[in-house]
Amino acid sequence: MQRYSDIDRDSGVTQFESGDDFIKVKFSDGAIYLYNYASAGSHHIENMKKLAARGDGLNAYINKHVAKRYVRR
C-alpha cells in the first residue's frame, strides 16, 4: 500500500492501494476497506483514486458518498 500524504493533516486515511476497478483504503484504526466499481460505482472509485493520489479530501469523500458501499472490511 502507498502512504496517503494527507496534505492538511486532518484525515483518518493513512494508506491506499488502487487498481483498475478498485481502491483499498486503510484508516488510522488499522481497518482496511475495499471499494470497487460493483459496490460503489465507477464514478466514485475514479474520484477516490484522484483524491488519494492528491493526498487531500479522501476521508470526507468517503463519508459523504460511499461510506458503507464497500465490498469488505
In the structure grid, which three cell numbers stand for residue 59, read together?
Answer: 476521508
pLDDT in tens, the chain (73 residues): 999 999 999 999 999 999 999 999 999 999 999 999 999 999 999 999 999 999 999 999 999 999 999 999 9
- Other C-beta atoms within 10 Å of 37: how many? 14
Structure confidence at residue 36 (pLDDT): 98
Structure confidence at residue 45 (pLDDT): 98
Q: What pTM did the predictor assign?
A: 0.95
Q: What are the sequence ranges of the domains in the chain? A: 2-66
CA distance 54 to 73: 24
Structure confidence at residue 47 (pLDDT): 98
CA distance 13 to 8: 12
CA distance 7 to 69: 25
Structure confidence at residue 31 (pLDDT): 98
